[in-house]
Chains A and B, each alone.
Chain A
Amino acid sequence: MNANRYIARAADVAARMIGGEMMIMSGADSSLYSLNETASILWQAADGVTPLAQIVERHICADYAVDPATALRDAEELAQDLARHGILLLADAPVPDATLRDTVPPARESP
């Protein structure tokens, strides 16, 4: 496992937090994905310049009772899965262009 991996949101996707669930539409084929809580955390933190290990440490280990090595392994599997669907980029070097995107503004939870 490479601890210095980077994740970035794919540039051609659409995304919005709706009712606490991150909805993402692939730019490649318009498929719609719904991310669970931890996947949403990774997605929102995927700025292309923060190492995955650091994201996991800051956002996963801090909030969930899980050891860093296990969390990183799970996170990388998840990132690979999202990358296969074309909604996340997984790289061995920073992807600075990804920082152009702001954090997705959350939608209000109820009317």
Chain B
Amino acid sequence: MREMGAKALKLGIPLGVQLDLTYRCNERCVHCYLDHDDHGEMTTAEIRDLLDQLAAAGVFFLILSGGEIFLRKDLFEIVEYARKLMFSVKLKTNAVMIRKAKAKRIAALGVESVQISVYSHRAEVHDAITKLPGSFRRTIEGARLLKSNGVRVSFANVLMKHNAGDYPEVQALAAELGVGYNVDATITPMMDGDRSILDLNIAPAALEQVFHNSTLVGNAEEFCAPPSGPLAQADALDTLPCSAGHTACYVSPYGDVYPCVQFPLPSGNVRKTRFLDIWQHSPQLKEVRAITMADLQGCSSCTHGSSCSRCPGLAYMEGNMRGPSTQDCEKSFARTGVPSANLLRKQAATARQEPASGAGTPSPLSAKHTVIWMAAQS
């Protein structure tokens, strides 16, 4: 797989694409980053044409997501066409609408895997997050049906304040059902830039617990080892921040192309321009590709430089795609107990602000951030 990725990078091939088929959804999850109105989704014919273009561009991994993909009446036509073009197809769904016939059809189409959002082992907690009564029961039933038809299934367990302590039981439920389990401890801003939902992020102590759990992160000792310092200059010039815009990208239901679903930098629209032209010639994607670790302001010299999981999309949403992503700084701190250069800088800035501006001035940091770096200094 690594060789395949390296080859795709060398040849400039978009190996993986996430295509959101709709933003409409039958759930109204409290942490969702999407607006659920339909602003003019691509038609079936447009999507078939796009799939032809993606196949010709060399896309191997195709993630079909949403919104809730089963709200598209043409979903199976799309999946069938994608499989005819021999994509490795992964579906992301809440599984609420999956019953016997649909599970059977997904299995017959040779879908690589289905990722299902599960928030808790407790129906009342799950349903309170999705705001859809009965969703937990139906989601788990959907997962069972897929599994019994031989489909590879995994649970995606996004953690937030509402369900922060439930993940061991969700993990146990996944094991009982014989499905995979992934935990995601990051609530991301809404695609329109609204950051209010970030308040739902779990507390630093809970994040630290997640990162020190070997059943979730692999070798916790290694994962949480002290940072090994900034990248060497030569490595920094060669190291890419992530695959977004390099070997992967995202296409919205309206045909907008972005480097990644978490990196809403408008880079073109497939209704106006052929996908390959956007991929090869979009100034925005070229700009993303031009960034190396050495260019990252405040990150290239950070002690976490060689092990940071910095997301350029989150940095972009924070205001600067070459800057730090505070959420990732928080993660690095939760893993290692060592504050990043960015958190230290913010600490210094806050300290300078406080005496002059008084207690009533809003800090650039949330209370949570303040707690993190203060703890680091003690």
A interface residue numbers (CB < 8 A to B)? 11-19, 21, 23, 25, 27, 30, 32, 34, 100-102, 104-111
Once the chains bind, are A18 and B13 in contact (CB under 8 Å)?
Answer: yes
CB of A32 within 8 A of CB of B1, answer yes
Question: Within 8 Å of chain A (Cβ to Cβ): is B27?
Answer: no
A16 and B59 form a contact (CB under 8 A): yes
Interchain residue pairs with CB less than 8 A apart (11) = A12-B110, A14-B60, A18-B11, A18-B60, A25-B112, A27-B112, A34-B4, A102-B85, A104-B86, A105-B55, A105-B56
Closest to A101 in B: B84
**B373 contacts partner chain A, Cβ-Cβ < 8 Å:** no
Interface flag for B280 (CB, 8 Å): yes
User: A11-B110, A14-B89, A30-B152 given. 5 additional CB < 8 A pairs?
Assistant: A17-B58, A19-B10, A104-B55, A105-B85, A111-B13
A18 touches B4 (CB 8 A): yes
Hey, which chain A residues are within 8 Å of B8, CB to CB? Answer: 18-19
With A12-B110, A13-B110 already in contact, the answer to whether A18 and B86 are too (CB < 8 A) is no
A36 to chain B, nearest CB (A): 14
Q: How large is the interface on B (under 10, 10 to 19, 20 to 34, 35 or more residues)?
A: 20 to 34
Question: Which has the most chain A C-beta neighbours within 10 Å: B52, B57, B88?
Answer: B88
In the assembled complex, how far is the CB of residue B61 from the closest CB belonging to chain A, in whole angstroms? 8
Give the complex CA separation of A102 and B86 in angstroms: 9
Whole-angstrom CA separation of A105 from B86 in the bound complex: 9
- Per the bound structure, the CA–CA distance linking A108 and B86 in Å amounts to 16
Say what secondary structure dominates the interface of chain A. Answer: loop
Return the contact of A14 from the options B52, B112, B280 (Cβ within 8 A): B112
Return the chain A residue nearest B82 by Cβ.
A14
Interchain CA distance A101-B86 in the complex, whole Å = 8
| Interfacial chain B residues near A17, Cβ < 8 Å | 58
B7 CB within 8 Å of chain A: yes
B12 interface residue, CB < 8 Å from A?
yes
Residues of A within 8 A of B12 (CB): 110-111
Given contacts A18-B11, A101-B86, A109-B11, contact A30 B57 (CB under 8 A): no
Instruction: Let me know if B87 is at the binding interface, CB within 8 A.
Output: yes
> Within the assembled complex, what's the spacing in Å between the Cα atoms of A105 and B57?
9
Residues of B with C-beta under 8 A to A30: 112, 152
Closest-CB distance, A48 to chain B (whole angstroms):
14
Asked if residues B11 and A111 are in contact (CB atoms below 8 Å), the reply is yes
B 75-126 contacts with A by CB, 8 A: 84-89, 110, 112
Secondary structure of the B side of the interface?
mixed
Q: How far is the CA of A19 from the CA of B84 in the complex (A)?
A: 21
Q: Which of A34, A102, A106, A107 contacts B84 (CB 8 A)?
A: A102
Min distance, Cβ A54 to any Cβ of chain B, angstroms: 23
- Residue in B1, B58, B110 whose CB lies within 8 Å of A107: B58
The 7 closest A-B pairs by CB, nearest first: A111-B12, A107-B58, A14-B88, A12-B110, A15-B86, A16-B60, A105-B55
Alpha-carbon separation in the docked complex, A100 to B10 (Å): 33
Residues of chain B with a CB closer than 8 A to A34's CB:
3-4
Is the beta-carbon distance between B110 and A18 smaller than 8 angstroms?
Answer: no
Provide the bound-state CA to CA distance between A101 and B3, in Å. Answer: 27
Measured between alpha carbons, how far is A17 from B8 in the docked complex, in Å? 11
Whole-angstrom distance between the alpha carbons of A17 and B15 in the complex?
A: 11
> Interface readout for B271-294 with A: 1 if CB under 8 Å, 0 if not?
000001000100000000000000
**Cα distance, A25 to B85, chains bound together (Å):** 13
Knowing A13-B110, A14-B112, A25-B88, say if A19 contacts B11 (CB, 8 Å).
yes
Of A25, A101, A108, which is within 8 A of B56 by CB? A108
**Are the C-beta atoms of B13 and A107 separated by less than 8 Å?**
yes
State the CA gap A109–B8 with chains docked (Å): 10
- Contact between chains at A18 and B58 (CB < 8 Å): yes
Residues in chain A near residue B56, CB distance under 8 A: 105-108
- Measured CB to CB, the closest approach of chain A to B270, in angstroms, equals 17
- Kindly list chain A residues whose C-beta atoms are within 8 Å of the C-beta of B89: 14
In the assembly, what is the distance between CA of A27 and CA of B109, in Å?
10
- Shortest beta-carbon distance, B90 to chain A, in Å? 10
B58 to chain A: which residues have CB within 8 Å?
Answer: 16-18, 107-108
Give the complex CA separation of A32 and B1 in angstroms.
Answer: 7
Give the Cβ gap from A76 to chain B, nearest Cβ, in Å.
24
Determine the distance from Cα of A11 to Cα of B108 in the docked complex, in whole angstroms.
Answer: 9
Give the distance to chain A from B29, nearest Cβ to Cβ, in Å: 29
In the complex, chain A residues whose CB is within 8 Å of the CB of B1: 32
